[in-house]
A and B are shown apart, each in its own frame.
Chain A
Amino acid sequence: NAGVTQTPKFQVLKTGQSMTLQCAQDMNHEYMSWYRQDPGMGLRLIHYSVGAGITDQGEVPNGYNVSRSTTEDFPLRLLSAAPSQTSVYFCASAHRSGTGGDTQYFGPGTRLTVL
């Protein structure tokens, strides 16, 4: 199993450009999520999904879109990049046990710089 994979590893954008960060998992997990990690702030939830066709907002959703057309993939779209979106982005997935407290498995991250 590859686990959770993310592409690209690094990306530099200019202000106003759009792009999609890719995330895929091969564990048949129902739950997937996107976090951003900024120095001194820990990780903050951007968007999440509890199954194909179902998405919802996290703590910091502004400027990002997501969709979940398959169980495996959960892409994150930046519509018009801003310097404030410079960050490291992590995708994670988990099996939903129904009782909560499920372990999330994280991808290796995408380091994004917006100039």
Chain B
Amino acid sequence: AQSVTQLDSQVPVFEEAPVELRCNYSSSVSVYLFWYVQYPNQGLQLLLKYLSGSTLVKGINGFEAEFNKSQTSFHLRKPSVHISDTAEYFCAVSVKTGANNLFFGTGTRLTVIP
């Protein structure tokens, strides 16, 4: 079975400050890792994903994430946030030999304060 833990349900941060959103996962089999973003009243869109190779993954809108196998973590970072980054962020995993099904964390609401 797989599980995803997002340790912070809400993260307020001032504009132009750095941010880190934390994600830990648990799985008995190998998984792929994803971060999705949901802007208010919209569907989800992919920020970035880790499949293999370099453990530092760069995504859209200046976000990046680092896969740490020993700590089973996949934290999301941005060096300088903008007002437009205010959204809900979801970490998710899918089983490598599976059908693409995603198992999501409970989400982190990022609020950027002017």
Contacts and interface: CB of A to CB of B under 8 A. Distances in A.
Contacts of A42: 4, 90, 104-107
A33 interface: yes
A100 B32 contact: yes
Interface stretch (A43-51, A67-75, A79-87): A43-51
A26 interface: no
B46 A103 contact: yes
B51 A101 contact: yes
Contacts of A106: 36, 43-45
A97 to B, nearest CB: 9
B43 A45 contact: no
Interface stretch (B11-19, B70-78, B79-87, B95-103): B95-103
Given A42-B107, A43-B90, A90-B43, A104 B32 contact: no
Counting chain B residues whose Cβ lies within 8 A of the other chain, the interface size class is 20 to 34
Interface in A17-50: 31, 33, 35, 40-45, 48, 50
Contacts of A4: 43
Interface centre among A43, A103, A109 (most CB of B within 10 A): A43
A56 B98 CA distance: 12
Contacts of B51: 101
A76 interface: no
Interface of A: 4, 31, 33, 35, 40-45, 48, 50, 56, 58-59, 90, 92, 94, 96, 100-104, 106-109
Give 8 nearest A-B pairs by CB, closest first. Answer: A106-B43, A101-B32, A42-B104, A106-B44, A101-B51, A42-B106, A43-B104, A108-B43
8 contacts: A33-B101, A35-B104, A43-B44, A43-B104, A100-B96, A103-B46, A104-B102, A106-B36
